[in-house]
Amino acid sequence: MERNRACPCPVFEKRGSGILMHVTSLPSPYGIGDLGPEAYNFVDFLVRARQRYWQVLPLIQANYRGEYSPYNCMSAFADNKYLISPDMLLRTGLLKKSELGRAPGFPRRRVNFGKAIRFKEGIFRIAHERFGRTGHTSESYMRFCAENSVWLDDFALFTVLNDQDPVHTWLAWPAAVRRRDRRILQSLRNALRKDIERERFLQYIFFSQWQALRNYCNERHVGVIGDLPIYVDHNSADVWSHPELFKLDRGLRPLYLSGVPPDYFSRDGQLWGNPVYDWREMRRTGFRWWRQRFASAMELYDYVRLDHFRGFVAYWQVRAGARTARRGKWVKAPAADLLTMLRRQSRRLPLIAEDLGTITPDVREVMARFGLPGMKVLLFAFGDGDPDNPYLPHNHVENCVVYTGTHDNNTVRGWYEEEATDAEKHRLHAYLGRRVSTRRVHEEFVRLAMSSVAETVIIPMQDILGLGGRARMNRPATTTRNWQWRLMHGSITPSVIGWLRSMTESYGRCG
């Protein structure tokens, strides 16, 4: 098949491979992975194993009420302050060693979000107090605040008000605040100035630490692939700040909720519960909000995976109040107009379309028009005996990204041990030409991915290590015990590095 020469995404200029692992999964003595020393160690591992990409899950500030999903956006622009590294705050003089010595004991194998958040909120207050003596007038801080004022000011105020009432959403605020009376908002900004400044400071610190880490990646020829959730939470700074961009009723409650119909993951579909966009209003404003969001994402990443790309072409909306996503309808969205505007703004679209599930011809047409690579997941390859199954390696194309699995799948070993039927195992063995053991099945999947004609391969870290189902990151349509897996110290051994490096070299993915 001839290569799509119109593809604007540099990720496909030559063969390469990388690792999918979220920042929260890194080792750290503070209960949750962060942007500190272990992140740099992970980049060093990628370099030694000759990997070209590090893919992360969304870095945005999640709405940590109940579920700790990184796709549960409290803001489409703000970043997750809980990924700030205390060690880096120590290095820059914003914390003292004695203050970090007060950290409680944390579990090593799982993220304890609640405990980690409580600890970090305490040290953030200390760091901000110290920063306030000199840093608020620094040129870099003032420039950051000015350049991001379009979202930062509202986000900081929203966060402070939201924290004052951790039980209710902004719909419970006084009417003048809900409806953004300018005089009242200015009064609140004056009264809550110190707390608001702390939130602005934390966004600045995250950005500074992340940019240092990203520069470290890029200097070593490692590209960072980010993940852009399609929706934001109703209890978010975006919906409060721009209610006109969402389908809301007169009381500012969602008229419709987002989700997907019944599919591979759930018989009832998935009712995500986010408000859906008013795309007519988005178009009327020249997609200003999306252009700002895309520009913000490109400040963080080299490439971006567009989550649920299907929803940019047509989205599934369910009436508010429904208990499941079964009864909904598809509504068209202006993907082509949006992408045209984004390409006009940046001249390049380094995007990956998450095109899993039932994909219609109109979605394929948009992807082809803009040269967007889709995803091929090997765990979907052996569910039937159809040799035309698009996930089977012999059906791959150059302009796609191959994964063994994603954050929503079981690990390869977990799938083989817990989910694969005898028929699926038989089809896998027939495809490989031999039987494989449970202990080695992850290696065979990695080999299938690496040998694909696809120019880019991304392997979840759990599949590099051959971990079982307990290391799974997420179970769609569930809300407990997700997003908690962590990489253990010492897991990345010289033999793991050597094996991955050899595989990468053998299939010409060193770049």
For helices 193-219 and 37-48, give the axis angle rounded to 10 degrees: 20
Phi, psi torsion values for 83, nearest 5 degrees:
-90, 0
The contacts of residue 87 (CB under 8 Å, 6+ apart) are 34, 36, 37, 100
d(CA 7, CA 399): 8
Q: Looking at residue 410, what DSSP letter applies? A: P
Instruction: Count CA within 13 A, CB hemisphere, residue 66.
Output: 8
β-sheet bridge partners, residue 53: 18, 223
Q: Where are the alpha helices (DSSP H) in 385-454?
A: 412-414, 422-432, 441-451
The gap from C-alpha 334 to its chain's centroid, in whole angstroms, comes to: 23
Catalytic-role residue among 307, 424, 444, 455: 307
The contacts of residue 176 (CB under 8 Å, 6+ apart) are 184
362 is a catalytic site residue: no
SS3 call for 345: helix
d(CA 351, CA 333): 18
Amino acid present at 286 = G
Identify whether the C-beta of residue 328 lies closer than 8 Å to the C-beta of residue 255: no
d(CA 130, CA 113): 26
Sign of the CA dihedral running 265, 271, 277, 278: positive
Catalytic-role residue among 398, 408, 417, 443: 408
Identify whether the C-beta of residue 453 lies closer than 8 Å to the C-beta of residue 396: yes
263 is a catalytic site residue: no
Distances (CA, A) of 184 to 173, 190, 235, 244, 252: 12, 10, 20, 20, 19
417 is a catalytic site residue: no
d(CA 203, CA 156): 9
The gap from C-alpha 49 to its chain's centroid, in whole angstroms, comes to: 23
Determine the Cα angle at 234 with ends 357 and 112, to 5°: 80
Amino acid present at 297 = A
Identify whether the C-beta of residue 311 lies closer than 8 Å to the C-beta of residue 230: yes
d(CA 53, CA 442): 20
For helices 441-451 and 422-432, give the axis angle rounded to 10 degrees: 50
Residue 389's Cβ-count burial label (10 Å; 0-12, 13-18, 19+) is: middle
d(CA 380, CA 394): 14
Catalytic-role residue among 79, 354, 424, 455: 354
Q: Which residues are catalytic?
A: 307, 354, 408
